[in-house]
Amino acid sequence: MKAHHRKIPFRPPAKRYDVKVSRAGLLLRFLRCYVKPHRWSILFCILLSAPQVCSVYLMSYYGRIVVDRILVITPSAPARPPQVGAENYRVWTDESKRVGGASLPGESQGRRIDMGVAASARPPGAGIMLLTVFILYATTLIGLNFLGRAVQQRRIRVGRQIAGHLREDMHEKILSLSMSFHRAHSPGRLLSRILSDVEVLQQQLVDTIMMVSNTVIMICTGTVILLTIDWKIFLFVVATAPVYAVMYRYASEVIREISLELRHTNTCLWGFVSQKFDALKAVQAYGRERLERLNFHRLTSCFLRDALLQQRASAGLGRSAGIVGSAATTTIFLFGATRVMAGRMTLGEMLFSYSTAASLFGPVLELAQLNLIFANLGVTMQRVADILDTPLEITDAPDAVEFPSPVKRGFSLQHVAFSYDPENEEVESVLTDVNLHIPAGTWLCVMGPSGSGKTTLLYLLSRLYEPTHGSILVDGIPMKKIKTDSLRMRMGFVPQEAKIFSGTVRDNICYAYPDARPKQIMAAAKAAELHDFIMDMPVQYETIIGEKGTTLSGGQRQRLSLARALLTSPEVLILDDCTSALDADTEGKIQTTLATILEGKTAVIVSQRVSMARRCHKICVVDNGVITEYGTHDELIARGGFYSVLHAQQTELPPVIS
């Protein structure tokens, strides 16, 4: 299959799943976890839909009654030679009936064509019987309409509930996965899994269950009817099943491959749109709208081509199956017609058996294409299971304990190394053999050039990542043996890029402590030098701010994020250059406030400001994943390294040359 149209930007190759994974096993798992809780509702739908799917046989039976008992159309007896002296004896010769040289036939042309069929006298009350059948027919249609509505409503409700349960599980799993997973998966692609793939999966699951049950019901009912009328006609239907199975088995792998690429392209579209919406300012600032339109057009064109390939393959398969079905139904019709002409079957029976056999080809066709349906369903199930089965990197040990409060000895990093892709030897480690001790109640300022591993060090201390090698101890307790919830409650983390949620100012500040009292909220805002700004807002603390804080400046977002962390009164505070967007005056006020609030508490602060470093008890310089300098302000100035040069740049004093 040609796939050159898939080699475009923003569309990496699709992930190939292990073919050894049993689709039947995945199906049973999803049925057990998500369908079984709704088994009674689904059984109710199956019972209600049974009369509906079998209604085609009932309608055909009404036709049989009309033909055989009301119209009373039966095969006539073979024509006998005329007898001399009979009343109806008429001689038709060219000589006996001639007027002006033209022959006058004794019987019409239509009568001669229909010579073999005679209409006998209809039974008494035929009109009343016909009216009764009509009323039954109309009543059946009305009843089936109401049943169909009830089934559809229940199916929609069950489908929505299954989708909601699936989305909740996926959302919960994604929230519990480590930063390593989120670093490798963009938000847009995760949204595609949660929204688009789950929607397709719940539809396919419910439709497959209903299709299989309806198919079994129709085949069983139709089989009984055909065996009752004429078992030979049933054999014609059974003979076509292997032909269908061979065709669908050949086409299932091709359609499954196209379905996999189609779902992957859909995911890439979600990721692309999400990424570009986040970077909309940059797109407009650099005038790259035309390029982004081109990239989006390429992705949508790829999606369209794969969708057309899928439709073409499915349509070709459907046409081939239609030819087989037409040939079989035509054969059945001819067979029934010969039996009617031979007097072995009434016309009503023939029409009833023909209609029943023709209706059976649909279920037989659906039964034959189960492999194709499971192939498409398997693609979606594997994509959803890929998220649900992702192993958790950060879990609580069975013997996990509470975070020590208060911290007495401090943090200790022993031969810590970290790589974002430890399985790939070509990827260099971000941190290498880091040994560091942070005494309890002290402040440590982490400095260094960009990309040296400062933020990664904070992530390890917050246990957002697990070290590739080495260990981190808190009061001598390995961090892996501390309960994650307890650690999160005792530790406050303020990232460099403030994360603001859509909602009110109060909601954002109280995010980690929803039950905080108004006085506590205002105290945290004052500590972050944000209270005065909030009081000038239209509704003060109840003012709604846009998603991601688009209505706030960078400095205001940072102060809001800082107030959120201070509200929890953390035992340990970790700040990742969270004052970089503030002016010097505001930053100085926040530093003074932090010195009061965090007195006697442990803090690890990433900053490139010498003013902040001088307030800390110890300073360490990280360069290329290694701690190159460690000590107090005076010790590092005397050493004449990175810190000394940075101090000289910010104070305009000549650096000390060691």
| The pLDDT value given to residue 5 | 63
Determine whether 288 is exposed, middle or buried from the number of CB atoms within 10 Å of its CB (0-12, 13-18, 19+).
middle
Neighbours of 607 (CB within 10 A): 23
pLDDT tens, residue by residue, 312-355: 877 777 777 778 778 888 888 888 888 888 878 888 888 888 88
Q: What's the per-residue H, E or C state across 318-380?
A: HHHHHHHHHHHHHHHHHHHHHHHHCCCCCHHHHHHHHHHHHHHHHHHHHHHCHHHHHHHHHHH
Determine whether 584 is exposed, middle or buried from the number of CB atoms within 10 Å of its CB (0-12, 13-18, 19+).
exposed
| The pLDDT value given to residue 274 | 79
pLDDT tens, residue by residue, 353-363: 888 888 877 77
- For residue 546, which of 507, 494, 492, 515 has the smallest C-alpha distance? 507
pLDDT tens, residue by residue, 240-271: 777 777 777 677 777 777 877 888 888 888 88
* DSSP strand pairing (443-447 vs 618-623): parallel
pTM for this entry: 0.71
| The pLDDT value given to residue 103 | 47
| The pLDDT value given to residue 2 | 57
Neighbours of 627 (CB within 10 A): 21
Domains assigned to the chain: 7-13+22-73+125-388 (1.20.1560.10), 410-651 (3.40.50.300)
- For residue 394, which of 173, 568, 191 has the smallest C-alpha distance? 173
**Which token pair is 263?**
């779902």
pLDDT tens, residue by residue, 384-418: 888 888 888 888 888 889 988 888 888 999 999 98
- For residue 492, which of 472, 522, 462, 515 has the smallest C-alpha distance? 462
CA end-to-end span of the chain: 68
**Which token pair is 516?**
């905080």
Above 70 in pLDDT, residue 87? no
* DSSP strand pairing (572-576 vs 602-606): parallel
Predicted confidence band of residue 647 (pLDDT cuts 50, 70, 90): confident
pLDDT tens, residue by residue, 132-173: 888 988 998 899 899 889 888 888 899 889 988 998 998 888
| The pLDDT value given to residue 142 | 92
Determine whether 530 is exposed, middle or buried from the number of CB atoms within 10 Å of its CB (0-12, 13-18, 19+).
buried
pLDDT tens, residue by residue, 106-139: 555 445 445 544 444 567 777 888 888 889 889 9
